[in-house]
A and B are shown apart, each in its own frame.
Chain A
Amino acid sequence: GENVEQHPSTLSVQEGDSAVIKCTYSDSASNYFPWYKQELGKRPQLIIDIRSNVGEKKDQRIAVTLNKTAKHFSLHITETQPEDSAVYFCAASIRGKTSYDKVIFGPGTSLSVIP
C-alpha cells in the first residue's frame, strides 16, 4: 500500500550545524508535501510545505526540496538552535476534485540540537 518513509529516525547535531531529513513517498499522484514540528508534549505545527509544481521553497533557516522523479522530498534546517529540538513529521497528500483524497504521514524524526 501507499506509504511514506522518513530517515533518519533520530538525528543529533551540534548547535550551528545543518540538519537534513528525507522522506520518500510511494504514490506518484501525491501533490502536496507539508512538514510538521512537534515539540515534546505539544501539538504539531506546520513549519513549511511544498506543492508538486515547485522544486524548492525556503523560509529563513528552513528549506524543503522536492524531487518528483525520485519521489522524495527533504527538509533542510541551517544554523540549528536548541529550540529546533523536536520531532519532525513529513506528509504526502493527493488532491482530488474537491479536497485531498489521501493523507499519509512519515513516522517522524527526533532531532536533538546539542548546545
Chain B
Amino acid sequence: KAGVTQTPRYLIKTRGQQVTLSCSPISGHRSVSWYQQTPGQGLQFLFEYFSETQRNKGNFPGRFSGRQFSNSRSEMNVSTLELGDSALYLCASSLEDFESTQYFGPGTRLTVL
C-alpha cells in the first residue's frame, strides 16, 4: 500500500496570506489527523476528521480549519498567516481513530515571512 502523502512539501508565504495543505491517507483509512510541529512547542494536535466530519479539535484559533472529502483525502487551511505559524505540519491516517496505529506523512514545511 502507498503511504500517507502530503503536498506541497515546502511552502513559503508572507504574513496575512492564507495557505491550503493537502493530505492523502493510506487507502482504507478513514481517520485523518493534523499536527503542528515546532522546535519550541513540539508536537501539537490540530484536529481530526472522520467520514468527512471534524470529530476532535485541539487548542488552535479559528484561523486553522480543515475538511475531509468522501475519498478521505483531507485539506488544512490557515488564514491570515502569522510568523508563529511557521512549522512542520504533519498529517496522520489510521483505520478508525487515534488508538488505531497512526501513520504519518512526510509533512509540509511552512515558512511565513
Contacts and interface: CB of A to CB of B under 8 A. Distances in A.
B42 A103 contact: no
Interface of B: 31, 33, 42-45, 48, 50, 55-56, 58, 90, 92, 96-99, 101-102, 104-107
Contact of B56 (A43, A45, A100, A104): A100
A99 B95 CA distance: 12
A43 B98 contact: no
Contact of B102 (A46, A95, A106, A107): A46
28 contacts: A43-B90, A43-B105, A44-B43, A44-B92, A46-B101, A46-B102, A51-B99, A91-B43, A93-B98, A95-B99, A98-B55, A99-B31, A99-B48, A99-B50, A99-B55, A100-B48, A100-B56, A100-B97, A100-B99, A102-B45, A102-B56, A103-B45, A103-B56, A103-B58, A105-B42, A105-B44, A105-B45, A107-B42
Interface of A: 32, 34, 43-46, 49, 51, 89, 91, 93, 95, 98-108
Most buried by A among B44, B90, B99, B107: B99
Contacts of B42: 89, 105-108
Contacts of A89: 42-43
A44 B97 contact: no
A39 B45 CA distance: 20
A105 B99 CA distance: 14
